[in-house]
Every structure is written in C-alpha cells, then in structure tokens.
Amino acid sequence: MISLFAPNYSREAMEAVSGLMATGDIYSSRYVAELEEAFAAYVGAKYAIAVNSCTSALLLSLMGALPREARIPSITFCSVANSVIHSGNELRIVDETPVGRAYEIEDTGIWDSAHEVKHRKDWDEIDSVCYSFYPTKPLGGIGGGMIATNDDGLVDYIQRARMHGTDRKSYECRFEVAFPGWKMQMTELEAVVALDQLKSLPERDAIMEGIRLEYGANGIFSPINSQHIFGILSNEREKLEKALDEAEIQHSVHFHPLHLQPAYKQYASGEYPKSELWGKQELSLPFHEGLTSRQIEHISNTLKEADYGKV
C-alpha cells in the first residue's frame, strides 16, 4: 500500500519524547517557550502563542475579535466553520476554493494558515495567523497549533484563555482567574517534536517540491501549489478512486463543500458553482517525503491507464 501520508520524525525527537514520558514532565513549558520564540522568528511575527490545535488557535483568535460577520470558503475543513460559530461571530459561507494555501477569514483580520508555514511581511496589517502541527501538515508534529501576531493585547488574552483564563505557569498552584477560559495549552511532547520539525522545514519543503516536479515529469499536474496537498481534478473521480484502490494507492478528498453539509446549510446563500465543481472533481494523491521515484511512477501510470479525465 502506498500511503497518502507517512510520518518522518528524527531520532532526536523520538528520544526527547521518550525522556519526557519517562519523567512525566509534560507541562513544564520549557520546550513550548523555545518553540514559540523560534516559530515567531521563522514566520516574522512579534509573538507566537502555542496551543493544542489549529482549531483552538482559530477559536481563541475569533474569541478575541469583536463580533462580526465572518466569511469563510465552502471548500475548507469544518473546524473553521465550527470555530466561527462557537466564538459567537456570524458565519457566512462563500464560493471560494483556497485549498492548500493560507486565506483570510474575511472581515476578521484572522488568517487560517493550517496548510503552509512561511515567512510573512504584513504582520501589522493582520490580527493573527493560525497554524496546524497535525501530523499530515508541512510542520507535522504529533499535534498542536500556533497563533502568530503583532498584537500585544491579543497575546495577553490568548495566553490566559488557553490556561483556563489564568496567569498560571506550568504546575503553579497559586494563580488568578481573570475570566472563564479553556484548557488549550500545548504539551511539551507536542512542542519538542514541532521544534525539531521546524529546524528542518526548509530542507523538507525542498524535498516536497522535488516530488511535485517528479509528478509533473510523469505527466501528472496539480492545480494547486501547496506544501501539504497534491490534488488533481478529474471528471471521472469514482472510476479513478476504484483504479487507485485496486492498485493499493491511498487517496483522499480536500474538501467536501461546507454549504452542502447539514450543519451549515443555514449559513449558505446563493449559488456555489466553483465549490460544487471542486467538490465533485478533486482527488488528493500520496504526497510525503518518503515517496520514491518508483512509487510516483506507479501512481502516475495507474492514473494514465485509468484515463482519469483530467481537467
């Protein structure tokens, strides 16, 4: 089976995780603080605040924003819609397909950058950017997320909000509760792996770009330039999925249109031709550092033999 995704953790990261598990030192925040400093420098922001997922990053950023209408693309993951709703903002779904790249949750100043980690120069023009360290992502760890910002006030709010609304540090038993918050802080386990992955991110990005080019050399091209997803468009998706299954090649879809989901129909209005076409045609192929030239050739030949009806 050629997997859609394969983890790639260094020996140093795994040894560090083992050491933390042996001592039980899971919430000391030593590695969390180191990761926050290194990540802020990497993306060019003044601050970075570590949390337990990109979903939490989105929710806390939206909780720190004034209530407003938040417009999100129909082609994105459901966590974005859920975060808008749970934060008390008004959700509106629009006909956009920003797969694999960062995009603004319109009219909030908050960006969802779950699929890419890059240096930015426009930090004074945005409120915050939210990142994911889910294992399949470019900076794929064992979980966790990050909020990057230049906003001093937002930093103070999120640092407390992720720790039950307190100013608590690590295992301290004396603290003040400023407001009702959540348990959304990052663990040392997540931080030490993400920190290790961050150090090698440029080299791994170069490997992924090489794999993208190798697909192209085999005649398979993606309409998106993503650090995370290699998706193709096909008018014969069901036929293609069957051929890939028979060839033992994993695949997925990024993403199913939100406006067609029962939970979000009330937030949709008008027509969604781009989103619905994408939802019918997109198919994601294996895209990870462990892919070999032989595997890419096998995937490519399977697609060609299936006459997949590329668009």
Q: What domains can you pick out in the chain, each with its CATH number? A: 11-65+109-199 (3.40.640.10), 201-305 (3.90.1150.10)
Place 90 in a pLDDT band, splitting at 50, 70 and 90: very high
Q: Which residue has the higher pLDDT, 141 or 171?
A: 141
How large a percentage of the chain has pLDDT more than 70? Answer: 99
Q: Two tokens at 17? A: 């995780």
Tell me the CA distances in angstroms from 195 to 59, 77, 223, one per residue in order.
23, 25, 31
205-210 long-range contacts, CB within 8 A, separation 24+:
205/138, 207/289, 208/138, 208/287, 208/288, 208/289
pLDDT per residue over 211-228, tens digit each? 999 999 999 999 999 999
Tell me the CA distances in angstroms from 65 to 50, 87, 161, one per residue in order.
18, 9, 13
Report pLDDT for 150: 97
HEC-encoded secondary structure of 263-309: CCHHHCCCCCHHHHHHHHHEEEECCCCCCCHHHHHHHHHHHHHCCCC
Place 170 in a pLDDT band, splitting at 50, 70 and 90: low
SS3 category, 79: helix
Report pLDDT for 13: 96
Q: Are 174 and 84 in contact (CB under 8 A)?
A: no
Between CA 150 and CA 126 the distance in angstroms is: 8
Query: Would strands 128-132 and 145-149 be described as parallel, antiparallel, or unpaired?
Result: antiparallel
pLDDT per residue over 281-302, tens digit each? 999 999 999 999 999 999 999 9
Place 173 in a pLDDT band, splitting at 50, 70 and 90: confident
Q: Two tokens at 285? A: 């192929």
Dihedral of CA atoms 295, 301, 305, 307 in degrees, nearest 10, equals 100
Provide the mean pLDDT of the chain: 95
Cis peptide, bond prior to residue 77, ω within 30 of zero: no
Q: Are 41 and 65 in contact (CB under 8 A)?
A: no
Report pLDDT for 309: 73
Place 311 in a pLDDT band, splitting at 50, 70 and 90: confident
pLDDT per residue over 222-251, tens digit each? 999 999 999 999 999 999 999 999 999 999
309: how many CB neighbours lie within 10 A of its CB?
13
Between CA 155 and CA 177 the distance in angstroms is: 16
Report pLDDT for 231: 97
Q: Which residue has the higher pLDDT, 191 or 310?
A: 191
Query: Would strands 103-105 and 110-112 be described as parallel, antiparallel, or unpaired?
Result: antiparallel
pTM: 0.95
pLDDT per residue over 12-30, tens digit each? 999 999 999 999 989 888 9
11-19 long-range contacts, CB within 8 A, separation 24+:
12/196, 13/192, 13/193, 13/196, 13/197, 16/192, 16/193, 16/196, 17/142, 17/189, 17/192, 17/193
Dihedral of CA atoms 160, 105, 194, 25 in degrees, nearest 10, equals 20
Q: Are 99 and 224 in contact (CB under 8 A)?
A: yes
Report pLDDT for 171: 65
Position 31: which residue type?
A: Y
